[in-house]
Amino acid sequence: MTLNVLYFAWVRERVGLPGEKVETEAATVADLVRELAAREARYAAAFVDMTAVRVAVDQELAGLDAPLAGVREVAFFPPMTGG
């Protein structure tokens, strides 16, 4: 499947991209993170501590165990600091 993967704030800065299309068979968010981290050092740097990263699946907050079947967009970002 092709996923639209987005990065925000320091995750975006570490990866060096705001987003990209990713061709993957990852079953869960955690699988996708492992695939991305194995690609290049900049991805590994972004995902080195997943307790510091939040995930949204199709624009809804989700956990690392969230399944990716039928999903179109996955976003990675730090804890939110609005307000």
Partner 1 sequence: MAVRVQRENFDLGDEVAALRAGRTDIGAVVSFTGLVRDMGGRLTGFELEHYPAMTEKALAAIEAEARVRWPLQASLIVHRVGPLAPGDQIMMVATASAHRQAAFEAAEFLMDYLKSRAPFWKKETTVTGAAWVDARESDEAALERWTSRQS
| 82 touches partner 1 by CB under 8 A | yes
Smallest distance from the beta carbon of 19 to partner 1, in angstroms?
Answer: 10
| 31 touches partner 1 by CB under 8 A | no
Which residues, 46 to 65, sit near partner 1 by CB under 8 A?
56, 59-61
User: What does the DSSP 8-state code read for residue 32?
Assistant: H
Contacts 24+ apart (CB under 8 A), 46-52: 46/7, 46/11, 46/14, 46/15, 46/76, 47/76, 52/78, 52/79
**Residues of this chain that bind partner 1 (CB under 8 A):** 6, 8-10, 56, 59-61, 73, 75, 77-83
